[in-house]
Amino acid sequence: MHTSRMSLSRLFAVLLLAVLAVGVLAACGAPAAESPAAAPAAQEAAAPAAQEAAAPAADDMSSAHEAPMLQELVKAGTLPPLEERLPVNPVVVEPVEMIGKYGGTWRAGLRGGSDNAWMYRTIGYDQLVTWTRDWTAVEPNVAESWEVSADATEYTFKLRQGMKWSDGEPFTADDILFWYEDVLMNTDVTPSVPNWMRSGDVPAVVEKIDDFTVKFTFPQPNGVLLLRLASPDGPPVVGYPKHYMQQFHITYNPKVVDEATSAGYADWMAYFNSKTGGGGCCEYFDNPDLPTLNAWRITQGYGENTTSVRAERNPYYFKVDTEGNQLPYIDSIAFDVGNDVETLVLKALNGEIDFQDRHIATFNNKAVFFDGQEAGGYRIVEKQTADNNVMEISFNLNHLDPMKNEIFNNLDFRAGLSHAINRQEIIDLVYVGQGEPWQAAPFEASPYYNEQLAHQYLEFNTDLANEYLDKAGLTEKDADGFRLGPDGKRFSFTIDVPTVNTEHIDMLELVEKYWAAVGVEMKPNVIDRSLGQQRLEALEHDANVWGGPGGIGFGTLLDPRNFLPVHGHSRYGYAWYQYWVNPDGPLAQEPPASVLKQFDLYRQVNAASDPAEQTRLMQEIMQIAADNFYMIGISKPPAPYAIAAKNLRNIMENMPTEWQYPTPAPSDTFQWFFE
């Protein structure tokens, strides 16, 4: 099921006809773009067809269709009536199960430090366009509709007239122009324009057509802009309310340098960025004063030494259900901030968390959560995995140690270690038999599936492992049977594994044993995630592990980090990633010809306006990844899950679980409610 969209006036007409006993009619909006990845010639993309629904007549748009807490504010004269707070054409959403009820607080948990991604995944996903619930297309959101030129160089977005920020100020094209002109194109604020807003080295041009129309123009075709805008790349476009942020920008406030100094900041740019967290998808939750378009607005920010974060309903939210009731249904969200996963698990078991998967919904915890459902008053919500692997081992192919760099880059070395892993034993011991031996590769249902990439070097065979390791040149051994490096010393290395990934720690202990059996010494290095990232970015790691995105859906195309190094988490080739970003950068290393070929193909993917051509190019990329075998996978993941209070309704079953579909937000958390 996907979110339904229709014009409000059309919605009112439906009920009026029903009241007149003419019957309930199916209301439909304008046709949507044929494919989110395609760029149809000058074709307007608007809302998908809505489902049959009854709704209040136009003159009945009263406080009965808003939360009681807002009704009281309207009665007191401190908040305008609902019809003055909604845009002319609000987004109309069909609930997953039923029309909801207002009220309640959704309780969730955050880890200490930086856990902003969970806030984005829950309350921060209102972008220019968004994914459909089933992750098959892009649909209108802040943008009411769009047109795309035949060559995918021009995208014209029509905004919703009368839409407002959470403080009641109008949202218009000027806000998007502020993001473009004063943030994105200001090198003091944004030193480097992101790839998705460039054609080669040339940034796109964003211009205001009128108060409610903006146009993005690219020098060369950009066939994936809509996908990017629906992904975690998209929030900054609608994340800078000009009326608020201009007071912190030197273009509009000449005194801001002195004000920044007085506030303790090194310069005005740091002061400016502190008000939005520095931009990005997940950084807008520290400042309670920052107006938002999201369903809930922050009232208690996520800063240093924070013990709790709170968000309350946005009285100007631009979505209603199919009966005209303003969303969200839930009044507020309370995030308890802690420093350890065990505390979050205990809170969930005690019924003190209403919905959570992040941090706690591990396979190791599932049996405990299953047994505790009755006592804790929660249920287990099954989800659909989009990650391609439970754990992927990435050797640093850009190692600063010449000897390790040479050995790690030897494909025979990596193939030998892969054959030494008893994957079925890992699946049996860690995942109770739930899994399938699998390399770092998309699943069979994906258009990017590559059989070689998925199945090569999977067989557990120590004889074959030894054969490959001998071919890699590690033929000499010490008295304990461990292989010697070219320097005559035992060849030994570590694998960084974050403390939060307990299953990875368990698996690496088994891998350590398997590799010792073929004469290779490896030691797991259990460290804090932030420290591991620092080591990665300094090229100080030997190897590290993480999960594997890109099993299904648009994730493979948008985030192919494990198949070519175009992401800061391409752990096997971070210096190659730096070359992709800036060939002259201090850490950049020119990649081999095969990787340069992938870079060229990926540029073509981003330019292609035809989805079939995008798929063909991605398949070429996947074949190069198969031939190079960048990383070692273990198994397909078991089905993921979440913990949800028994009385929390309208939760979509089998929702995709992936970063590019920032679960659970695209399943429309704003229509969840407590029964």
Residue 356 lies in a domain: yes
Do 405 and 465 lie in a common domain?
yes
Question: 3-class DSSP state for residue 377?
Answer: coil
Do 447 and 400 lie in a common domain?
yes
Amino acid identity of residue 445, one-letter, is A
Question: Parallel, antiparallel, or unpaired for β 205-210 and 143-148?
Answer: unpaired
The answer to whether 665 and 322 have CB atoms below 8 angstroms apart is no
Amino acid identity of residue 67, one-letter, is A
Do 308 and 401 lie in a common domain?
no
The answer to whether 409 and 575 have CB atoms below 8 angstroms apart is no
Residue 407 lies in a domain: yes
Quote the CA–CA distance of 428 and 506 in Å, as a whole number. 12
Structure tokens at 458: 């999977």
Alpha helices in 111-224 (DSSP H): 116-123, 173-177
Query: What CATH number is attached to the domain comprising 445?
Result: 3.10.105.10
Task: Note the pLDDT of residue 363.
Answer: 84
- Which of the 8 DSSP states describes residue 658? B
Do 421 and 460 lie in a common domain?
yes
Task: Note the pLDDT of residue 17.
Answer: 30
Task: Note the pLDDT of residue 41.
Answer: 34
Do 372 and 460 lie in a common domain?
no
Report residues of the chain scoring pLDDT below 50.
1-63
Do 625 and 645 lie in a common domain?
no
Task: Note the pLDDT of residue 501.
Answer: 83
Residue 411 lies in a domain: yes
Quote the CA–CA distance of 24 and 226 in Å, as a whole number. 34
Do 463 and 322 lie in a common domain?
no
Structure tokens at 476: 């000499």
Q: How far is CA 506 from CA 509, 510, 634, in A?
A: 5, 7, 13
Peptide bond into 328 cis (omega under 30): yes
Do 569 and 448 lie in a common domain?
yes
Do 519 and 466 lie in a common domain?
yes
Residue 307 lies in a domain: yes
Residue 110 lies in a domain: no
Q: Please give the tally of structural domains in the chain.
A: 2
Quote the CA–CA distance of 366 and 533 in Å, as a whole number. 28
Residue 23 lies in a domain: no
pLDDT digits (tens, 9 = 90+) for 495-532: 999 987 889 999 999 999 999 999 999 999 999 988 99
Buried b (16+ CB within 10 A) or exposed e, 145-167: bbbbbeebbbbbbbbbebbbbbb
Tell me how far the alpha carbon of residue 618 is from its chain's centroid.
20
pLDDT digits (tens, 9 = 90+) for 244-284: 999 999 999 999 999 999 999 999 999 999 999 877 778 88
Residue 544 lies in a domain: yes
State the helix-helix crossing angle for 462-471 and 411-419, rounded to 10 degrees. Answer: 170
Do 395 and 344 lie in a common domain?
no
DSSP character string of 37-85: T---TTEEE-PPPPPP-----GGG-SGGGS-HHHHHHHHTTSS--HHHH
- Domain interval for residue 565: 389-633
Q: How far is CA 96 from CA 127, 641, 647, 672, in A?
A: 21, 18, 15, 9
Quote the CA–CA distance of 284 and 276 in Å, as a whole number. 5
Structure tokens at 574: 């971070």
Task: From 582, 571, 627, select the one nearest 399 (Cα to Cα).
Answer: 571
Task: From 670, 667, 671, 557, select the one nearest 130 (Cα to Cα).
Answer: 667
Do 320 and 420 lie in a common domain?
no
Quote the CA–CA distance of 365 and 381 in Å, as a whole number. 14
Q: How far is CA 129 from CA 159, 458, 553, in A?
A: 11, 40, 17
Residue 214 lies in a domain: no
Three-state secondary structure along 515-583? HHCCCCEEEEEEECHHHHHHHHHCCCCCEEEEEECCCCCCHHHHCCCCCCCCCCCCCCCHHHHHHHHCC
Task: Note the pLDDT of residue 113.
Answer: 63
Q: Any idea which residue has 């006036």 for tokens?
A: 9
Do 420 and 311 lie in a common domain?
no
Structure tokens at 45: 């993309």
Query: What CATH number is attached to the domain comprising 316?
Result: 3.40.190.10
Task: Note the pLDDT of residue 379.
Answer: 97
Name beta bridge partners: 437.
Answer: 635
Quote the CA–CA distance of 237 and 527 in Å, as a whole number. 35
Task: From 547, 544, 494, 492, select the one nearest 524 (Cα to Cα).
Answer: 494
Name beta bridge partners: 10.
Answer: none
Task: Note the pLDDT of residue 279.
Answer: 72
